[in-house]
């Protein structure tokens, strides 16, 4: 498994603003989407293309188009929704599969409550999106669920990850690549990422 920490200056600048304590809901949402778009750009860099001929103004022209498998974006509810608009700006035709999980406040274990997957998920690349990879429990549960549905090509996009969660994912799903704006320092005693963003879902939905 590869962990791609995207050090692009635009990503790092936007993430710095996202970390500010007094950030508004509106600004947090905008930046979560914008970073989501930039992570998507990086995560799709190795997608295969094929040569096709199009009827261009000057006559037939050989051009490159995306080849083969299509994508399904998989936001983990709730907070994953916060990155969705940005991701879809890069891939407007992608189909969406939704997985609902929340983290138990005492055990930090993911609790499942919803799923609605596209029917042909076994033929698609699944791009799971969630602002936070903390213990890794929610992401691992989502990958388990997608693999059970027949999905074989899965990647994860996160704004911020903890090294503890990355290690757990590496162990559970070595075939899954991660794209993150930052791998932060550590988890605190409440399994929150430090320095992190705080509660990303609350910030995106205005429920803090």
Give the residue numbers annotated as catalytic, written as ranges. 103, 107, 199, 202
Residue 135 assigned to a binding site: yes
Cα 19 from Cα 198, distance rounded (Å):
8
Residue 33 assigned to a binding site: no
Q: Which of 33, 75, 86, 201 binds ligand PRP (CB under 6 A)?
A: 201
Neighbours of 113 (CB within 10 A): 10
Beta bridge partners of 53: 62
Residue 137 assigned to a binding site: yes
Nearer to ligand URA, 134 or 151 (CB): 134
Cα 110 from Cα 122, distance rounded (Å):
24
User: Contacts with ligand PRP: how many residues (CB under 6 A)?
Assistant: 22
Nearer to ligand URA, 84 or 94 (CB): 84
Neighbours of 179 (CB within 10 A): 24
Q: Render 117-164 in DSSP notation, one character per residue.
A: --TTGGGEEEEEE-SEESSSHHHHHHHHHHHHTT--EEEEEEEEE-HH
Selection from ligand PRP, ligand URA, none that 192 binds (CB < 5 to 8 A by kind) is: ligand URA
Residue 78 assigned to a binding site: yes
Stretch near ligand PRP under the rule CB under 6 A, chosen from 1-9, 18-26, 126-134, 175-183: 126-134
Q: Where does this chain bind ligand PRP (CB under 6 A)? A: 76-79, 102-103, 108, 110, 130-139, 165, 191, 200-201
């Amino acid at each position: 498994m590869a962990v791609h920490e995207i050090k692009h200056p635009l990503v790092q600048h936007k993430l710095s603003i996202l970390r500010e304590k007094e950030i508004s809901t509106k600004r947090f949402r905008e930046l979560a989407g914008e970073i989501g778009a930039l992570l998507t750009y990086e995560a799709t860099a190795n997608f295969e293309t094929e040569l096709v001929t199009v009827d261009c103004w000057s006559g037939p022209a050989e051009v490159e188009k995306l080849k083969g498998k299509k994508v399904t974006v998989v936001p983990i509810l709730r907070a994953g929704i916060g990155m969705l608009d940005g991701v879809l700006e890069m891939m407007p035709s992608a189909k969406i599969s939704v997985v609902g999980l929340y983290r138990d406040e005492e055990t930090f274990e993911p609790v499942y409550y919803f799923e609605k997957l596209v029917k042909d998920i076994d033929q698609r690349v699944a791009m799971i999106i969630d602002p936070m990879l903390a213990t890794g429990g929610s992401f691992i549960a989502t990958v388990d669920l997608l693999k059970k549905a027949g999905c074989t090509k899965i990647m994860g996009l996160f704004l911020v990850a903890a090294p503890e969660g990355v290690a757990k994912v590496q162990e559970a799903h070595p075939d899954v690549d991660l794209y993150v704006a930052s791998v932060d320092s550590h988890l605190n005693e409440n399994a929150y990422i430090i320095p992190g963003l705080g509660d990303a879902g609350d910030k995106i939905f205005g429920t803090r």
